[in-house]
Amino acid sequence: MHELSLAEGLVAKCAELCRGRRVLAVRARCSAGIDAEELAAVFPVAAKQYPGGELENATFDLEVVPAHLECSCGWAGELPGDNVAGHIGICPGCGRPTELSGGLELLGLGYAGDAGPG
Ligand SMILES: [Zn+2]
Protein backbone atom coordinates (compact mmCIF):
# COMPACT_ATOMS: atom_id res chain seq x y z
CA MET A 1 0.00 0.00 0.00
CA HIS A 2 2.55 2.55 -1.21
CA GLU A 3 -0.26 4.89 -2.27
CA LEU A 4 -1.72 4.99 1.23
CA SER A 5 1.57 6.19 2.68
CA LEU A 6 1.74 8.82 -0.08
CA ALA A 7 -1.79 9.93 0.75
CA GLU A 8 -0.93 10.11 4.45
CA GLY A 9 2.11 12.22 3.67
CA LEU A 10 0.02 14.54 1.52
CA VAL A 11 -2.65 14.86 4.20
CA ALA A 12 0.01 15.69 6.79
CA LYS A 13 1.39 18.38 4.50
CA CYS A 14 -2.10 19.83 3.95
CA ALA A 15 -2.79 19.86 7.68
CA GLU A 16 0.45 21.73 8.23
CA LEU A 17 -0.46 24.34 5.60
CA CYS A 18 -4.07 24.88 6.58
CA ARG A 19 -3.22 25.77 10.20
CA GLY A 20 -6.56 24.72 11.53
CA ARG A 21 -8.69 26.15 8.72
CA ARG A 22 -11.26 23.79 7.25
CA VAL A 23 -10.06 22.47 3.88
CA LEU A 24 -12.67 21.83 1.19
CA ALA A 25 -10.43 21.02 -1.73
CA VAL A 26 -6.97 19.62 -2.24
CA ARG A 27 -5.26 19.84 -5.60
CA ALA A 28 -2.23 17.73 -6.38
CA ARG A 29 -0.25 16.50 -9.33
CA CYS A 30 1.32 13.09 -9.70
CA SER A 31 3.58 11.49 -12.24
CA ALA A 32 4.74 8.04 -13.09
CA GLY A 33 5.10 5.31 -10.58
CA ILE A 34 1.98 6.34 -8.73
CA ASP A 35 -1.35 4.64 -9.20
CA ALA A 36 -3.55 7.73 -9.51
CA GLU A 37 -6.81 5.83 -9.11
CA GLU A 38 -5.53 4.09 -6.01
CA LEU A 39 -4.25 7.36 -4.61
CA ALA A 40 -7.58 9.09 -5.22
CA ALA A 41 -9.31 6.16 -3.52
CA VAL A 42 -7.15 6.17 -0.39
CA PHE A 43 -6.89 9.94 0.03
CA PRO A 44 -10.29 10.31 1.77
CA VAL A 45 -9.32 7.46 4.09
CA ALA A 46 -6.10 9.19 5.08
CA ALA A 47 -7.91 12.55 5.35
CA LYS A 48 -10.56 11.15 7.71
CA GLN A 49 -7.94 9.47 9.87
CA TYR A 50 -6.03 12.68 10.39
CA PRO A 51 -6.61 14.14 13.86
CA GLY A 52 -8.25 17.55 13.90
CA GLY A 53 -10.71 16.86 11.11
CA GLU A 54 -9.69 19.86 8.97
CA LEU A 55 -9.55 17.61 5.93
CA GLU A 56 -12.37 15.18 6.54
CA ASN A 57 -14.63 16.72 3.87
CA ALA A 58 -11.96 17.77 1.41
CA THR A 59 -12.34 16.80 -2.21
CA PHE A 60 -9.27 15.53 -3.98
CA ASP A 61 -8.38 16.84 -7.41
CA LEU A 62 -5.50 14.88 -8.88
CA GLU A 63 -3.78 15.87 -12.09
CA VAL A 64 -1.81 13.10 -13.76
CA VAL A 65 1.23 14.01 -15.81
CA PRO A 66 3.05 11.60 -18.13
CA ALA A 67 6.03 9.65 -16.90
CA HIS A 68 9.39 11.07 -17.82
CA LEU A 69 12.43 8.90 -18.35
CA GLU A 70 16.08 9.56 -18.94
CA CYS A 71 17.78 6.34 -19.85
CA SER A 72 21.48 5.58 -19.77
CA CYS A 73 21.23 4.70 -23.48
CA GLY A 74 20.59 8.34 -24.21
CA TRP A 75 16.83 8.20 -24.71
CA ALA A 76 14.98 10.88 -22.82
CA GLY A 77 11.42 12.04 -22.95
CA GLU A 78 7.87 11.33 -21.98
CA LEU A 79 7.08 7.65 -21.79
CA PRO A 80 4.07 6.38 -23.72
CA GLY A 81 1.50 4.74 -21.47
CA ASP A 82 2.29 1.33 -22.98
CA ASN A 83 5.83 1.65 -21.68
CA VAL A 84 4.79 2.13 -18.09
CA ALA A 85 3.94 -0.82 -15.88
CA GLY A 86 3.31 0.19 -12.30
CA HIS A 87 6.51 1.65 -10.95
CA ILE A 88 8.59 0.38 -13.87
CA GLY A 89 9.16 2.21 -17.12
CA ILE A 90 10.45 0.47 -20.24
CA CYS A 91 12.83 2.56 -22.32
CA PRO A 92 11.52 2.92 -25.89
CA GLY A 93 15.10 3.20 -27.08
CA CYS A 94 16.73 0.09 -25.65
CA GLY A 95 13.95 -1.80 -23.85
CA ARG A 96 15.65 -1.64 -20.50
CA PRO A 97 13.32 -1.53 -17.50
CA THR A 98 13.95 1.37 -15.14
CA GLU A 99 12.37 2.06 -11.81
CA LEU A 100 10.47 5.32 -12.11
CA SER A 101 10.81 7.91 -9.41
CA GLY A 102 7.21 8.86 -8.99
CA GLY A 103 6.47 12.34 -7.86
CA LEU A 104 3.56 13.70 -5.91
CA GLU A 105 3.26 17.44 -5.66
CA LEU A 106 0.77 19.48 -3.68
CA LEU A 107 -0.57 22.28 -5.88
CA GLY A 108 -3.00 24.07 -3.64
CA LEU A 109 -5.72 24.01 -1.02
CA GLY A 110 -9.24 25.40 -1.12
CA TYR A 111 -10.81 26.62 2.10
CA ALA A 112 -14.34 27.14 3.30
CA GLY A 113 -15.39 30.65 2.32
CA ASP A 114 -13.20 30.72 -0.79
CA ALA A 115 -14.91 31.07 -4.16
CA GLY A 116 -13.15 27.89 -5.18
CA PRO A 117 -9.81 26.15 -5.12
CA GLY A 118 -7.01 28.25 -6.55
ZN1 LIG B 1 17.32 3.10 -22.99
pTM of the model: 0.74
The confidence score (pLDDT) of residue 15 equals 94
- Separation of 85 CA from ligand 1 center, angstroms? 16
Residues 19-40 have pLDDT tens digits of 999 999 999 998 867 888 999 9
- Separation of 101 CA from ligand 1 center, angstroms? 16
The mean per-residue pLDDT over the stretch 90-105 comes to 89
- Separation of 93 CA from ligand 1 center, angstroms? 5
Q: Which of 27-36, 72-81, 102-111 has the lowest mean pLDDT?
A: 27-36
What is the distance between the alpha carbons of residues 50 and 16, in angstroms, rounded to a whole number? Answer: 11
What is the distance between the alpha carbons of residues 56 and 51, in angstroms, rounded to a whole number? Answer: 9
DSSP 57: T
Non-local (6+) Cβ contacts of 18 within 8 A are 54, 55, 109, 111
- Separation of 18 CA from ligand 1 center, angstroms? 43
- Separation of 83 CA from ligand 1 center, angstroms? 12
Is the pLDDT assigned to residue 108 strictly greater than 60?
Answer: yes
CATH architecture of the domain formed by 2-111 = 2-Layer Sandwich (3.30)
